[in-house]
């Protein structure tokens, strides 16, 4: 897959469809997105994470809300499990 790209504090990552919880609807598990964002934004140069999935137009959280822009620490709702 594509190499991660860092541009103006936004890290773009492209995954294959295996990362999705629900491939049919392009849903990524909330805790997966939260883990990615929390871990990666610990780096000083990364302010937000733009997650893309190959062959998937748009991805959404478990509530069906589409991730239309890069995700920041502030924009994720902490899941109860973490």
In the numeric block, which tokens belong to residue 46? 């990364």
Does 81 have pLDDT greater than 80?
no
pLDDT at 20 over 80: yes
What pLDDT was estimated at residue 1? Answer: 60
Q: Which two tokens stand for residue 35?
A: 């883990």
- Are 22 and 65 in contact, with CB atoms under 8 Å apart? no
21-79: pLDDT as tens digits: 999 999 999 999 999 999 999 999 999 999 999 999 999 999 999 999 999 999 885 55
In this structure, the dihedral spanned by the alpha carbons of residues 60, 61, 63 and 65, taken in order and rounded to 10 degrees, is -40
Query: Residue 2's pLDDT band (boundaries 50, 70, 90)?
Result: confident
Q: Is 39 helix (H, G, I), strand (E, B) or coil?
A: helix
Q: Is the pTM of this model over 0.95?
A: no
């Amino acid at each position: 897959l594509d190499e991660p790209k860092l541009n103006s504090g936004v890290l773009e990552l492209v995954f294959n469809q295996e990362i999705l919880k629900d491939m049919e609807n392009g849903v990524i598990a909330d805790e997966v997105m939260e883990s990615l964002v929390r871990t990666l934004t610990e780096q000083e140069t990364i302010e937000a994470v733009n997650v893309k999935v190959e062959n998937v137009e748009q991805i959404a959280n478990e509530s069906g809300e589409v991730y239309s822009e890069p995700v920041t620490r502030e924009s994720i709702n902490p899941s109860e499990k973490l």
